[in-house]
Chain A
Amino acid sequence: MVHFTGEEKTAVTNVWSKVNVEEAGGEVLGRLLVVYPWTQRFFDNFGNLSSSSAIMGNPKVKAHGKKVLTSFGDAIKNMDNLKGAFAKLSELHCDKLHVDPENFRLLGNVMVIILASHFGKEFTPDVQAAWQKLVAGVANAMAHKYH
């Protein structure tokens, strides 16, 4: 089980408290679809994904991004039990959505990059390290119920 130190939890929550979940969600999901176009395979019904500006402006991408990042917020409230917190979502992504867990790792890394671009110097190597631990923990928790 992943254990976060006090400093790591503080690094995460300090950053998170300043994140606009709605805006950031759309950015993170949008960038995933732009940078790794094969991830679009899960979103055939999202409408126009034909260019990076279409993707970044797509209302369904923004809405779904918000959902995803809101879930992340729940993770942050449950950093000591990520596997428990994500059990149901893990089952959903395996049984109904059929999403390769590799995508959770890609999304986590895109999120770290977006945070770096928003927070600049404040996103120090140590802050990044705490976030890498969190996104890896979330990705593992999301993959945990796969069978």
Chain B
Amino acid sequence: MSLTRAERNIIVSMWGKIAAQADAIGTETLERLFASYPQTTTYFPHFDLHPGSAHLRSHGSKVVSAVGDAVKNIDDIASALSKLGELHAYILRVDPVNFKLLAHCLLVTVASHFPADFTADAHAAWDKFLSVVSSVLTEKYR
């Protein structure tokens, strides 16, 4: 599965708006993940998970920043996220099912902040893009 030129253009053109609120969007995405899918908290026993906590803000920021790296290198996501893929494969070992849950929560967050931009085509492009990112991050799992 690879992104068409049109899909890449949509992602890149929307990223500016998202990046401008990166921290808020990252934090909210994680809050949504933990509220809707409490089992995902098992990966964060060391975190203060209260909404708005410093842990959530800093980790949310990290997640959005990594997505941003993928956007800025949208023609070669595998290279851009290679180190992060190794981290997830050898150290973090987050079960692959959770990438879909996180992606869904990021889409919900983006849809709620930018409804006018989140057209059917944008929704399709983002869903596909996050699916590519997830594949890259799980590529070295076995």
Contact = CB atoms under 8 A, between A and B. Distances in A.
Q: Are A and B physically bound partners? A: yes
Contact of B123 (A113, A118, A120): A113
A125 B32 contact: yes
Contacts of B37: 132
B28 A116 contact: no
Interface string A91-115: 0000000000000000001001110
B115 A120 contact: yes
- The binding surface of chain B is classed by DSSP as helix
Interface in A20-57: 30-31, 34-35, 52, 55-56
A118 B118 CA distance: 11
The size bracket of the interface on B is: 20 to 34
Contacts of B121: 34, 52
Contact of B120 (A31, A112, A123, A132): A31
A17 interface: no
Interface of A: 30-31, 34-35, 52, 55-56, 109, 112-114, 116-121, 123, 125-126, 128-129, 132
Interface of B: 28, 31-32, 34-37, 51, 104, 107-109, 111-113, 115, 118, 120-121, 123-124, 127
